[in-house]
Amino acid sequence: MPYETNNVFAKILRGELPAHKVYEDADTLAFMDIMPRCEGHTLVIPKAPVRNVLDASPAQLAACMKTVQRVAAAAMKAFNADGFTLLQANEGAGGQVVFHLHFHVMPRWEGKSLGPAASKMEKPETLAASAEKIKKALAD
């Protein structure tokens, strides 16, 4: 299937939709998931129009993973997490909902389950506060 240029992440990249940005470099963008499964749930995407992991070049995947690693360490620090879950889905049958390559970085705590996927929109002020915590941890 071809890349859909009007998906929500493409719109965020073009500045047509707002996002609570955490980190950005020449190749990637990290921002808060608006329907988080846990506190600190962050998304990492390539800036290039890439549908899924099979469409990405090795360089695009490497850039994403570099950002994932950096954001995961900062999110764990910011939220005093015991670990993190990294989720990446491909195509509808694989659980992909937005057809722009993305990685979910979700801080985790012992004994605490993830919330259900795409179930509740978080308040913008809560997302902004979470983004600030991660940005501060990135700067430390």
Q: Which residues of 79-116 are buried (b: 16+ CB within 10 A; e: fewer)?
A: bebeebeeebbeeeeeebebbbbbbbbbbbeeeeeeee
102 tagged catalytic: yes
Catalytic residue (one of 20, 41, 102, 104):
102
Given a contact cutoff of 8 angstroms between Cβ atoms, the answer to whether 38 and 84 are in contact is no
Please give the positions annotated as active site: 102
